Structure 1
Amino acid sequence: MKTLLLIRHAKSSWNDPDVDDFDRPLNKRGKLNAPEMAHRLANRGITPELLIASPAKRTKSTARLMAKEWHYDKDAILLEEELYLCYASTFLKVITKIDDDIDTVALFAHNPGITDFANYVTQEIRIDNIPTSGVFAVQANIQSWKDFDRARKSFLFFDYPKQEVV
């Protein structure tokens, strides 16, 4: 069984309009929400074995803040250039390269691609938007990540900072 966590980067700062999109940092709320969401995942008994992130500053920072909460080495986060503002189809390219010994993976990326991909992977639920720091989780009953696209995926949960935890 493989578990995939699709995580949108935390809230970024728009304070400096001259900062390039790729270099935008997290704002105060983003720096608080990312560890909170990592904590919520840990409370569900979910700790990813591999973190893969877009190299954009806000996405990399989100992954690092969550990694700290999970006691995951921030230097072990895999940065994938392809995940920066990618289309939904790009996620599959990244997923098929994951080592089959890894069962739980967190992919950190951007909208609209991450929401489009979440809607692609499961027929059970449709969402309009993965908000910042949002987590969309699915499982596939497979042994190899290469089989992820063809496998039937089961929706696990969708969580985000402003959602009340039940």
Structure 2
Amino acid sequence: MQELILLRHAEALPASSGSQDLERSLSPRGEQEALAAGRWLAAHGVRPDRLLCSPALRARRTAELAAKAVAPDGAIGLAGEIYDATPGELLALLDQHADARCMLLVGHNPGIERLVALMVDGRSDEFRGMPPAALAVLHLQGVLEPGNARLDAFWSP
């Protein structure tokens, strides 16, 4: 893997009474944020050849909307381990997809923001924060392991 794009799901509607967290949808603003994330990726020439996403509705919808601009015909792989994952669990999942040239992973905080810190700084306790629909573009400097990535770009709506 040469490039890793980490995208936090866009703004979701608040949980309603009796509903499950996995079924929370995007807000109207979140729909626009996800589209904007896709446009940003396209404008910067980012073309993922693999897309993995949490099974949560808000993450799936974020992936669908963002992918329209960068991989309209690409399949979105769902990975249950992304939901509520630690940085180590996310890294183990990514290791299974190390053959991808450019991976786009759509998930949740705190896992996503801590994974950015782990990949760039080698530590996941010093995370910087990622608001809804924020994305980090990481360039891997060799093998997929902590501290072996450079943050090439950070964007948030």
TM-score (norm 2): 0.90
Does residue 155 of structure 2 align to residue 156 of structure 1? no
Q: 1:114 aligns with which of 112, 115, 123?
A: 112
CA distance in 1, matches of 2:87, 2:64: 23
After superposition, give the CA deviation of every residue in 1:28-55 in whole Å (9 maximum; x if it has no partner): 0010110111111111111211110000
Structure 2 match to 1:30? 30
Describe how 1:12-161 pairs up with structure 2 within 5 A: 12-14=12-14, 16-73=16-73, 76-98=75-97, 100=99, 102-123=100-121, 127-142=127-142, 147-149=143-145, 152-161=148-157
Deviations 1:81-129 (A, max 9, x none): 00001111111111111152x21111001011111111111129x6531
Q: For the residues of structure 2 that align with 1:41 and 1:31, how far apart are their CA atoms?
A: 16
Structure 1's consecutive aligned runs of 4 or more residues displaced over 6 angstroms after TM superposition are none
Are the counterparts in 2 of residues 34 and 133 from structure 1 also a CA contact under 8 Å?
yes
What's the CA shift for 1:151? 6.7
CA contact (8 A) 2:8 2:107 kept: yes
CA distance in structure 2 between the aligned counterparts of 1:149 and 1:156, rounded to whole angstroms: 17
> Once superposed, what is the RMSD of the aligned Cα atoms?
1.9
SS of the equivalent of 1:46 reads coil
Contact 1:141 1:151 in 2 (8 A): no
| Mapped contact 2:121–2:147 kept (Cα < 8 A) | no
Q: Is the 8 A contact 2:10 2:132 kept in 1?
A: yes
2:62, 2:70 → 1: CA distance?
13
Q: Percent identity?
A: 28
Would the alpha carbon gap of residues 92 and 127 (structure 1) be closer, same or farther in structure 2, given more than 3 Å must change? closer
Question: Across the two proteins, how many residue pairs are aligned to each other?
Answer: 154
Q: Tell me the amino acid that sits aligned with residue 151 of structure 2.
A: F
